[in-house]
Structure 1
Amino acid sequence: MTTVPIGLPTGLRRALRVGVLGLVLAVAAVVVPDAAVHRTEVALVKVERADGVAVRDQDVLWVLAVGSDARPGEDMLRSRGDAIQMVGLNTRTGSAVAIGLPRDSWVPIPGHGHGRVNSSLTYGGPGLMGRTVGNLVGVQPDYVFVTRFPFFEDMVDDIGGIHVRNPRRFSDDNLKPLGFARGRIKLDGYGAMAFSRIRKTLAGGDFDRSANQQRVLRGIQQAVRARADEPGFIERGVLTVLEHLHTDLPPGELFRFARALAHVDPAKVTTCVVGGSIGNVGSASIVRPNVAQARRYGAAARADAALRGC
C-alpha cells in the first residue's frame, strides 16, 4: 500500500469536497481534530476481480465498508470486522444501497472452511473479506473500506454529534447503562459508537445492530450535509482523512471513486439488513444468514444500486 499525499490536484480535492463526506466515507470518520502524529486509521483497498471490468466502465461501484475491531497496536486490516455494510453506488443515477450483514454470520470462507464472516478479515485481510461477503451477496466488491472505531468517535464529536431515529428503547450495562430513549435522539461520539455496537440487549440481536449501524450512517450523512457550507469545514475533514488514509489506488482512480460518492442523492439511498436465525456451532453462538435473501438483494441491486423495499 502507499500513503496518499495531501498535495492532491485541485480537481481531485473539488470532487472530494462533499462526496468524500457522504455515505461510505462517513464510516471512515472523515472529520477529526488534527494531530501531530498521523497513524493509519482508514484504508481503501482495491479488490482484484476475475472479470477484469474497469471501474470507469461501470455504472455501479460496490464497496464493502468494515469497522475493524482492532485494539491499540493491532493491525486493523488483520483484526475481526465489526460493522459490515456492502454499499453500492450508481455513478449515473445517484442512487445508493447499503446491505447490512450481521458480523456473526456463519459462512464459507475461501480456503478456511466455514466461520464467522468477520473472521475472514483476520485470515486474509480485506481481499479475503471482500470475496467472502461477495460470495454471500452474489456481488463482488470493487473496493474494501476499513476504519477504526476510535477515529469514528472523534469524528462524530467534531461535527457536533448526530441525530438518529431509534425505534425502541434499549440499554447495555457495560456500554450504555442509562440506555437510549425511543424516538429521535442526539448522539455524541461515544454514544454513536455504543448505539452501533450494542447487540445482546436488542430483541433482534445482530440483525437489529446492523440496522442501527445504518441509522448512524444516515445521521452522519445528514450532519455533514447540514454543515457543508460552513467555511473550512469540508476542507479540514478532507485533509485529515488524507493524512490518515492508506490506499493502493492511483490518483486517477481515487478521483473516479470520489466522484461516485459526490453523486449520491440522499433521497435515493436504500438500506436493508440480511435476515436469518440464531444458532450454535459447538459452544459458539452464530447467525445463520438467509442466503437466498442475501442473493435476492444482491441480484436486485447489482445493476442499478437500488432496492424497492426489504
Structure 2
Amino acid sequence: MLLALVLFPLVFGGWLWFHVDSTINRISAFPDYDGRPEAGAGENWLIVGSDSREGLDPETAANLHVGDADGQRTDTIMIAHLPDNDTPPTLISLPRDSHVPVPGHGRTMINAAFALGGPEMLAETVERATGLRIDHYAEIGFGGFAGVVDAVGGVEMCLEQEMHDTKTGQTLPAGCNRLSGEQALTFVRMRYSDATPRSDLDRVANQREFIGALVSEAASAGTLLNPFTTYALADSGAEALTMLEEDGPGDLLSLAWAMRGISSGEVVTTTVPLTDATAHRWDKEKASELFEAVGNDQPIRPELITE
C-alpha cells in the first residue's frame, strides 16, 4: 500500500508529461531573416490570444458570444520576459491596434500580421518593432481559453463595478465572483463598457490581471493535489495550445512558474508606452528604453510602466 502511494504520483506525473507533450499543437520554428535581433539576456515568450473560431460549432460559438467572423486575428498580443538574474519577470501588452511596420505590407495594425502571415509573420513583426528576439511561442483560441478556465473550476475575480458590454449584451456583476470560461472570455475581451472607458487599454490591463489570477488558481494546492483537476487542466491546456516544435511541457511550466507572481506584484506588468489613448502609436523613445531594459535583464524605470 505504501509503495503504491509513493509510485502513483511518479507514474501519474510521467504519464501526464508524455500526454501533454504529445497533445500540444506544434508549428515550425520561426524563420531567420536579415537583421533578426540577436539573442539577449533571459528568454522572451510571444503570447497570443487568437480570435479564431476554428473547431467551434455554431452552438458553442453562440454560447461564448464570439460572433462568426471569418479568418484569424489576434485579440491578445503579449511579450513575457523571463530573466536570467534576480530582476522580476515582465509581462508587456502590445495593443492589437498598434500601428507598426508589417513586412511586405507597410505600416498597419499589428494584429494584421497574424491574419496575413500567421505566427511567423507576427513574430517577425514583433521582433522588428521591439528589437527583442522571440525564443518561445504560445497561442490559444477562444474555445481553448474557456476550456482551461472551466478545467480549474473557474477563476475568482473582484470587479469594482458592473461590466456591461454594449456590443455583446453580456454583463458581469460587481463584487467578487468565480468566473466560468464563458464569463472569463467576456471579461478579457470587453472594451465597449462604462467599466472600460479607455477601451483597448483597459482591456489589455484586464487581460494581464486575469492571467495572474488564472495562473495562481492553476498553481494552487487545491488544483495540484487533485489528480482529476490536474488532468483536466493539463488535457484542456494541451489541446488548446499551439507552441514551437522544439518547446515542451518544461518550457510551459517555466513560463507559468514565472507568471504566478502577477497577482502578488512580483511580476512587472505594463502596456508598451503610447503617445495617446488611441493605442495606435507607440512612444518611440520610451518604448525603445523599455525593450532595451528588458533585453538586458535590467530594472525598468517606473515612468516606463503604464496600465
Q: Under a length normalisation based on structure 1, what TM-score does the superposition of the two structures give?
A: 0.72
Q: Shift of the alpha carbon at 1:93?
A: 4.1
Q: Which runs of 5+ in 2 are unaligned?
A: 1-9, 57-70
Are 1:46 and 2:36 an aligned pair?
no
Distance in 2 (alpha carbons) for counterparts of 1:249 and 1:117: 24
What's the % identity of the aligned pairs?
A: 25
SS at match of 1:237: helix
Question: Unpaired runs of 5+ in structure 1?
Answer: 1-9, 18-29, 31-37, 280-285
Q: Distance in 1 between matches of 2:170 and 2:158?
A: 19
Q: Secondary structure at the match of 1:46?
A: coil
- The whole-number CA distance in structure 1 between the counterparts of 2:37 and 2:166 is 48
Contact 1:91 1:263 in 2 (8 A): no
CA deviation map 1:82-109 (0-9, x unaligned): 1111111125548421100111111110
Q: Is residue 2:201 matched to residue 1:218? A: no
8 A Cα contact 1:45 1:144, kept in partner: no
Report the CA distance shift for 1:83/1:246 in structure 2 as closer, same or farther (over 3 A).
Answer: closer
CA distance in 2, matches of 1:86, 1:277: 21
- 1:76-95 alignment to 2 at 5 Å? 79-90=72-83, 93=86, 95=88
Match of 2:269 among 261, 268, 271: 271
Residue 152 of structure 1 contacts residue 189 of structure 1 at CA under 8 Å; is this kept in 2?
yes
Q: What secondary structure is seen at the aligned counterpart in 2 of 1:130?
A: helix
How many residue pairs match? The answer is 264
Taking only aligned residues, the RMSD between alpha carbons, in angstroms, comes to 3.4
Q: Is 1:102 the counterpart of 2:95 in the alignment?
A: yes
Aligned partners of 2:157 and 2:213 also within 8 Å = yes
Q: Is the 8 A contact 2:37 2:132 kept in 1?
A: no
Matches within 5 A, 1:224-235: 224-226=218-220, 227-232=222-227, 233-235=229-231
Instruction: Map 1:64-143; keep pairs closer than 5 Å.
Output: 64-72=46-54, 79-90=72-83, 93=86, 95-143=88-136
Question: For 2:125 and 2:157, how far apart are their aligned partners in 1?
Answer: 30
CA distance in 2, matches of 1:305, 1:220: 27
After TM superposition, the score normalised by the length of structure 2 is 0.72
Provide, for residues 190-247 of structure 1, a one-character-per-residue CA deviation record: whole Å limited to 9, x for no partner. Answer: 1111111111332111111111110110110111122343231334433444455554
Alpha carbons of 1:244 and 1:88: their partners in 2 closer, same or farther (altered >3 Å)? same
Q: Is the 8 A contact 2:26 2:242 kept in 1?
A: yes
Secondary structure in structure 2 of the residue aligned to 1:208: helix
State the match for 1:192 in structure 2: 184
TM-fit CA distance, 1:129: 0.4
> Comparing both structures, which one devotes a greater share of its residues to helix?
2
* Residue number among 133, 139, 157 corresponding to 1:146 in the alignment: 139
Higher strand share: 1
**Higher RCO by CA contacts (8 Å cutoff, separation 6 or greater):** 1
Per-residue deviation, residues 251-291 of structure 1 (Å, max 9, x unmatched): xx536624633652625311101234356xxxxxx722333
Greater radius of gyration (CA): 2
Give the Cα separation in 2 of the matches to 1:207 and 1:229: 33
Which secondary structure does the structure 1 equivalent of 2:276 belong to? strand
Q: Are the equivalent residues in 1 in contact too, given 2:154–2:178 (CA < 8 A)?
A: yes
